[in-house]
Amino acid sequence: MTLLGLLEREPSHGYDLKRHYDTFFSRGKPLPFGQVYSTLGRLVRDGKIVVGEVEPGEGPERKRYVITERGATEVESWLTEPVEAEPNLQTVLFTKVVLALMLGRPAEEYLDLQRAAHLRRMKELTELRRGGDLVDALLADHGLFHLEADLHWIDTTVARLDALRKAVRK
């Protein structure tokens, strides 16, 4: 969907698409060329893009891809559709806490370790935000707010551990 969206911005060659994708979305994991061209092939097959002017020469680089009405409609509906909320992001952490309490293990110590790991990651993201451009800041903020929400949950859980311990040991 990202490549299709980039094609709505302007008709592009595969190489330019990859470059734009890597600039804004890849976060250090460049998109392999193979994946770019297999995706473009699928989009052509599905009628969401077409091959526009073909420049003289050899190789895939001479093709310029253009989004179709159908493709643009798909981008529009994807953008307007809310992302599904994920209510159980921390199921592993939740399970660890409940199991630790059931087994009489030191859940608070485990939560402290998790807190430290979260804060370490938040520090990295804060450095990314401070040293990067606005797009980096936007991405870092997304991570920071989610980690912060987890930490609120950890704090609240620590404050309730005694009551939780009784509840799960019934």
Partner 1 sequence: MKAIEAREVVLSFGETPALRGASISVAPGEIVAVMGPSGSGKSTLLHCLAGILVPDSGEVHFDGRRIDTLSENQRSLLRRDEFGFVFQFGQLVPELTAEENVALPLLLGGVKRAAALREARPWFERLGLAGLERRRSGELSGGQAQRVALARGLVARPGALFADEPTGALDTLTGEQVMDLLVASAREQGTTVVLVTHEARVAAYADRQVIVRDGKVNALVHS
End-to-end CA distance of the chain: 49
Q: How far is the CB of 54 from partner 1 (least distance, A)?
A: 48
When binding is defined by CB under 8 A, the residue of 151, 161, 164, 168 that contacts partner 1 is: 151
- Report the C-alpha gap between 60 and 39 in whole angstroms: 13
Residues 40-79 that bind partner 1 (CB under 8 A): none
Cα angle 27, 31, 32; round to 5: 150
Q: How far is the CB of 111 from partner 1 (least distance, A)?
A: 11
d(CA 138, CA 85): 19
AA identity, residue 146: H
Q: Which is nearer to partner 1, 1 or 116 (CB)?
A: 116
Q: Which H or E element spans position 41?
A: helix 33-45
Using the rule CB under 8 A, which residue among 42, 70, 148, 169 binds partner 1? 148
**Which listed residue (126, 139, 153, 168) binds partner 1 by CB under 8 A?**
126
Residue 161 makes contact with partner 1 by CB under 8 A: no
Stretch that binds partner 1, among 55-63, 76-84, 124-132, 162-170 (CB under 8 A): 124-132
Distance of CA 49 to the CA centre of its chain: 25
| Rounded CA separation 96/65 (Å) | 49
- Interface of this chain with partner 1, residues 74 to 113, rule: CB under 8 A: 112-113
3-class DSSP assignment, residue 57: coil
Interface with partner 1 by CB under 8 A: which residues? 112-113, 115-120, 122-123, 125-126, 129-130, 144, 147-148, 151, 155, 159
